[in-house]
Amino acid sequence: MLKYAFQCGAIHTNMYLWHLSNQICKRSYSSKIRNIGILAHIDAGKTTTTERMLFYAGKTRALGEVHRGNTVTDYLTQERERGITICSSAVTFSWNDHRINLLDTPGHIDFTMEVEQSLYAVDGVIVVLDGTAGVEAQTVTVWSQADKHKLPRLIFVNKMDRPDADFEKCVSDLKDKLETQPVCLQYPVKDEDGVLAINDVITLERISWQQKDLGRSYENVKLEPSDDLRQLQEKRNELIDKLSGLDDELADVVISTESFDNVDNGLIQRALRRATSQQKVVPVLLGSAYKNVGIQRLMDAVNTYLPAPEERNQIYDCFGTEVAGKVFKIVHDKQRGPLTLVRILRGEIKRGMRLISVRGQAEVVSKLYEPLADEYREVSAVQSGDVVICAGLKSTVTGDLLTSSHSALKNAQKRLKQSLGASALKEDDDELDESNELFAIDPQIPDAVYFCSIEPPSVSSQTAMEQALKQLQREDPSLRVSYDSVTGQTVLGGMGELHMDIIKSRILSEYKIDVDLGPLQIAYKETIDSPSLTTLSVEKEIAGSKQNVSITLELVKNQNELFSLDKSPENLPNLNTLRPRILQVLRKGSISALERGPRVGGQVVETQIRLHSVNIGRGTADSFVMATAAQCVQKLLSMSGTRLLEPIMSLQIVAPSERISGIMADLSRRRALINDVLPKGDRNKMILVNAPLAELSGYSSALRTISSGTASMTMQPCGFSSMNSADESLAELRSQGLE
């Protein structure tokens, strides 16, 4: 019998050597780096799995408390802590001579923007499943996000210690609900006491973990001839068969040896790595984070099957040796101020270096740190492929692309255009999209769908609160802050209740201001129904000087420009005499009136203000002109009336075919628009549907009830849409808090 024992001592030695080499303060060897995210449905075991990885990698000395109890609060606390401590946003550890940068990716819909940003920074992800639940609602969401970023994945089926865990069901869920090609690298085995061990398909070994030392050591034992071995051999053959259909190198060997038994393990792994990278298959591993089973093999699999940075993001080649870095997160540190987390895609970032963001700001990196669990280790330079924390960047915003200089940026753009020009012949739309995204001056920020007022505890802390909000907005551009001049309140716009809640608790913990939030309301927008034109003349005496403005404005439906001049022959002479400064004042005043529509105070959109003529009396102050322009727009809006636009969510619901009619019946009561119903796997169907946000409060639990827990769904905001007048009236009542 062959026996190998793995002890953690070796790992500690590795770590020590790695730290020694790191004292030279330069990091490179990008083929040995893995930037990964870990995604899961709430409660699948993301926290526990991460904690175990850090423990076995020697980053933490003791296993953290595993919290139980109310899952929502568990999630809330966890989310509240996120961003406050840097360790939960990015953490680095070494494993078998590789460096793994694990980036936190919040799973909640309220943080879509953040997840998006961190997915730009990773090269692969681990998706954790709860072995007793299979593919759940949020699993579908994170899966489609990973799809969008074309990320290779590993599956970790967790909680396999539990008697009700069902590995086979998880695998069939993966096929049916996610339409993937799962390849099982392991199968669970339990002894008579129910203790979990793992049969390894490639090595034909049984792996069992020692509980005495919290699973630090484990044993690999070759299976003796038995039914178990025969079954496992069959699985191994199936694996080779499947992979040889996808990988030529493996296929050649199989054909020439005419047998599966002689296929070398290394060869299988290499074929699997290629197929995983190309997202043709998804390797499935299993274990129990809580019972310390399987985690080391999961980390091995990260190194073996997930791609190194240099194998991805070829689009950034256009930067050559210049710096290209993606800002995926900004956190606020009490001592160090704002810290910017950057994934370096090309080149090298050094301490003291000047960087510019694509939006044009130049800033100096005062210090560089690497993200270790609970400390900041200063480094002098970090190279392409790695993740680094930069101090000193004060105007950088999450989502920015950083590079060394304006000329570096111009050259990169030129080179990219050339290479795309060549490939445009191949009609590669995907690549064009990517390039647009790459150089996008404004990262795509989702529209706020909810808003609420925010109030400081006293007037004296108003300024401090505004400062705090400004900083928080840099970290999270999906947070909108505005000032309502009618009510005199500061208003927050965002993605949901949890989003606002976290903002509130962060202002308290990081800025020591105990703000009050008003009730959460749906962010309706307003638009005009038909064009209207009016003249407003105002005359007043202010402090002895006469103020006099007469202005004619028109509102028309238009998506593009907010403000234009009516250059018809009768107006042109008047407009031609206007000073550019006055034009700016008029523009600013009238546009400001679009911030708040007359009906529910929603932003007025798809509406253009057209200036026909204006006459301003001598000595009239600019502020008076501005106010009159705003007043004139308000008059027009109330004259013509507005229609409401409501936020719409797009949902993808996957459920067994026999549940579909019940789900559809409920959706029809929610003013939903069914776009499509598609078959998904053998037994499931997928409903693609748009529904108003107003009708979706508590929908995920309603869906759970209707489908007896068999349905899963993903939901994201997808724009605004007009409503009928009955629904409009309801919305008005709702916005006055009367419903």
Contact residues for ligand GDP (CB under 6 A)? 40, 42-48, 66, 68, 74, 158-159, 161-162, 288-291
Distances (CA, A) of 411 to 254, 359, 421: 47, 16, 15
Residues 714 and 635: beta-carbon distance below 8 Å: no
Measure the CA–CA gap between 478 and 502, rounded to whole angstroms: 13
Measured from the CB atom, the residue of 106 and 347 that comes closer to ligand GDP is 106
> Is there a contact between 684 and 176 (Cβ–Cβ < 8 Å)?
yes
Closest separation in Å from C-beta 71 to ligand GDP:
7
Cα–Cα distance list, 273 to 35, 200, 260, 426 (Å): 16, 17, 19, 28
Pick what 289 binds: ligand GDP, Mg ion, none; C-beta below 5 to 8 Å, kind-dependent: ligand GDP
Cα gap 184→187, rounded to integer Å: 7
Alpha carbon of residue 669 to chain centroid:
31
Cβ closer to Mg ion: 110 or 363? 110
What Rg value do the Cα atoms of the chain yield, rounded?
A: 29
Q: Which is nearer to Mg ion, 47 or 138 (CB)?
A: 47
Q: Which stretch binds Mg ion (CB under 5 A): 11-19, 45-53, 357-365, 675-683?
A: 45-53
Crossing angle, helix 137-148 and helix 112-121, to 10 degrees?
50
Nearest CB to ligand GDP, comparing residues 159 and 326: 159
Q: What is the DSSP letter of 65?
A: P
Q: Residue 717 pairs with which residues in a beta bridge?
A: 649
Q: State which of positions 68-127 bind Mg ion (CB under 5 A).
A: 78
Task: Return all residues near 429 (Cβ < 8 A) that are at least 6 apart.
Answer: none
Beta carbon nearer to ligand GDP, 107 or 601: 107
| Partner in contact with 44, chosen from ligand GDP, Mg ion, none, beta carbon below 5 to 8 Å by kind | ligand GDP
Stretches 44-52, 331-339, 604-612, 625-633: which one binds Mg ion (CB under 5 A)? 44-52
State the helix-helix crossing angle for 265-277 and 248-257, rounded to 10 degrees: 150
Positive/negative CA dihedral, 277, 279, 284, 290: positive
Instruction: Give min distance, CB of 294 to ligand GDP, in A.
Output: 9
Give the nearer residue to Mg ion in terms of CB position, either 48 or 590: 48
Asked if residue 49 binds Mg ion (CB under 5 A), the reply is no
Q: How far is the CB of 289 from ligand GDP (least distance, A)?
A: 4
Select from Mg ion, ligand GDP, none the partner in contact with residue 161, using the beta carbon and a kind-dependent cut-off of 5 to 8 Å: ligand GDP
Q: Rank residues 107 and 124 by Cβ distance to Mg ion and give the closer one.
A: 107
CB 181 within 8 A of CB 172: no
How near is the Cβ of 74 to ligand GDP at its closest, in Å? 6
Q: Helix H segments across 452-558? A: 462-475, 497-511
Q: Can you spell out the DSSP letters for 67-132?
A: P-S-HHHHHHHHHHHBTTBGGGTEEEEEETTEEEEEE----SGGGHHHHHHHHHH-SEEEEEEETT
CB of 71 to Mg ion, least distance (A): 8
CB of 110 to Mg ion, least distance (A): 16
Minimum CB distance to ligand GDP smaller for 106 or for 371: 106
273 binds, among Mg ion, ligand GDP, none (CB under 5 to 8 A by kind): none
Q: Binds 40, which of Mg ion, ligand GDP, none (CB < 5 to 8 A, cut-off by type)?
A: ligand GDP
Q: In 3-state terms, what secondary structure has residue 376? A: strand
Residue 68 binding result from ligand GDP, Mg ion, none, given CB thresholds of 5 to 8 Å by partner type: ligand GDP
Distance of closest approach, residue 107 Cβ to ligand GDP, in angstroms: 8
For Mg ion, the closer of residues 133 and 184 by Cβ is 133
Of 43-51, 147-155, 205-213, 541-549, the window that binds Mg ion (rule: CB under 5 A) is 43-51
For tokens 């001839």, name the residue: 225
Q: Which does residue 45 touch among Mg ion, ligand GDP, none (CB within 5 to 8 A, set by kind)?
A: ligand GDP
Q: How far apart are CA 349 and CA 368, in angstroms?
A: 9
Report the C-alpha gap between 607 and 593 in whole angstroms.
11
Q: Compute the least distance from the CB of residue 81 to Mg ion, in Å.
A: 10
Residue with Cβ nearer ligand GDP (42 or 517): 42
Q: Does 47 bind Mg ion (CB under 5 A)?
A: yes
**What amino acid is encoded at 522 in this protein?**
I
Give the interface with Mg ion as residue ranges (CB under 5 A). Answer: 47, 78
